Structure 1
Amino acid sequence: MVDTDETIGTSPAVREYFGEHYDSVARFHARLRDEGELRGLIGPREVDRLWERHILNSAAVVPFLTAAQSVADIGSGAGLPGIVIAILRPDATVHLIEPMERRTTWLEEIVADLGLSNVSVKRGRAEEYDGALEVDAVTSRAVAALSKLARISLPLVRPGGELVVLKGRNVEKEIEPARQVLRKLTVGDPEILEGHTVDGIESTTILRVRRR
């Protein structure tokens, strides 16, 4: 039986997409595949679709972070998208913020394993870093609805910086309920963007909000 996930991950298109960073990304994938379910980082159904649903999905946000020299990944969990961003943007400082100890332990292991000198792992909730951390961009994946996400994330974004988050196809429904919060936090209108990686792989829906 063909291992579709493995076929995607070893394909010339994916190797070309990640370029010089491919070996590090593949190592991260292997650790997730071998340990992710056991350590409670991913569900059992996700093991066989890590490249498409998680690795490439996370990588799709990177082109929208090209101007950011500092990034915070809120609720980093298994390191998606934070570890992928850190691999692809070795020139940027990436803060992985995660409240659960077993997950921060995992993140610290991965950072050491991959030799990611540009990463800082912070145990705690985003709200705890209000006033203590200011970055060019905050990102997250499957953390909360936009109204809550804006409240906990935007205080970490410097004026002129951005909230750039991975969202589902129905993200537009989250915008109106979040209008009041967004106005209070003095940000521009939300943009819904499509992040593309490799031909044949579903695009990723990304929401971007700029802080004035």
Structure 2
Amino acid sequence: MPEPTDVVEHDDRSREILGRGFDGAASFARMLAAEGELRGLIGPRELPRLWRRHVVNSAAVAPYLPASGSLVDVGSGAGLPGLVLALMRPDLQVHLLEPMQRRVAWLTEVSERLELENVVVHAVRAEDMQGEILADAATARAVAALDKLARWTLPLVRLGGVLLAMKGQRATEEVTKAGKTLRNFGVTSVEVHDIDLYDDGDVTRVVEVRR
């Protein structure tokens, strides 16, 4: 089965958003289009919007990443946003946490095929890494409500670090409900950013939680 090439949009805006990660992200998108549905990583309805809605969308958190250090991506799944961020930021050490073995196999294969030397794949749940890793930032996309996500991820983030959660329309509501949990972890600030990467009305909300 030949790899589809039409999933990648070679437009100036996509290149601007992804920066140095564009070529790698294009290869990743083609791999995901070719194998993602078969391997249970994406649904068939996601293929037409794979590039913008999933691959490039992963870059929404990039402006809030630390200047250096390490990143832990929780519930990496197909590699969104972790693999895309690793491609964009080869200077960051990126830890991908994923408990499902078939997804772990996929993440490992993609990392090897794209020669991502800054990626380490862990076949674990976030809770199992508490006390084992302390990163400068944590990311998560479509993993859990913020209250639960904070309890899983903030123990993995050093003081002064940041949790970047990609959310939908209920982001502000989730922040309110998670208030007590966030205070218990010594969170110093929470901001909700509305990100419209292509100025087309497709907004992703990035919740920036700083310890």
Compute the TM-score of the two structures, normalised by the length of structure 1. Answer: 0.92
Alignment of 1:99-118 (within 5 A): 99-118=99-118
Post-superposition offset of 1:179: 1.2
Query: Residue type matched to 1:109 in 2?
Result: E
CA distance in 1, matches of 2:84, 2:185: 29
Aligned to 1:176: 176
Aligned pairs (5 A) from 1:2-21? 6=6, 9-21=9-21
Q: Secondary structure at the match of 2:186?
A: coil
| Residue pairs, 1:163-202, within 5 angstroms | 163-200=163-200, 202=202
Alpha-carbon distance in 2 for matches of 1:22, 1:59:
11
Distance 2:76 2:195 in 1: 19
| Partners of 1:73 and 1:140 within 8 A in 2 | yes
Structure 2 partner of 1:209: 209
**Distance of 1:203 and 1:104 partners within structure 2:** 29
- 1:137 match: 137
C-alpha spacing 1:201/1:177, structure 2 compared with 1 (3 Å): closer
Contact (CA 8 Å) 2:70, 2:136: kept in 1 or not? Answer: yes
Query: What aligned pairs does 1:43-54 form with structure 2 within 5 A after superposition?
Result: 43-54=43-54
Please report how far the alpha carbon of residue 201 of structure 1 lies from its aligned counterpart in structure 2 after TM superposition.
6.5
Where does 1:32-43 land on structure 2 (aligned, <5 Å)? 32-43=32-43
Q: Residue 8 of structure 1: CA displacement?
A: 6.3
Q: What is the TM-score when the length of structure 2 is the normalising length?
A: 0.92
In structure 2, do the counterparts of structure 1 residues 22 and 124 end up closer, same or farther at CA, with 3 Å as the change threshold? same
Seen in structure 2, the aligned counterparts of structure 1 residues 77 and 19 have a Cα distance that, compared at 3 Å, is same
Q: Determine the structure 2 residue equivalent to 1:22.
A: 22
Cα deviation 1:13-72 (Å, max 9, x = unaligned): 323433443221100000010100110001111111111110121011111104342000
SS at match of 2:147: helix
Q: Does 1:122 align with 2:125?
A: no
Which runs of no fewer than 5 residues in structure 1 stay unpaired? none
Q: Is the Cα–Cα contact under 8 Å of residues 192 and 206 in structure 2 kept in the other structure?
A: yes
For 2:195, the aligned partner's letter is G
The answer for the alignment partner of 2:70 in structure 1 is: 70
- 1:162–1:102 CA distance, 2 compared to 1 (3 A): same
Q: Percent identity?
A: 49
Paired residues of 1:72 and 1:96 also in contact (CA < 8 A): yes
- Counterpart CA distance in 2 for 1:20 and 1:149 is 30
Q: What are the residue-to-residue correspondences of 1:141-152 with 2, within 5 Å?
A: 141-152=141-152
Cα distance in structure 2, aligned partners of 1:7 and 1:39: 18
Aligned to 1:58: 58
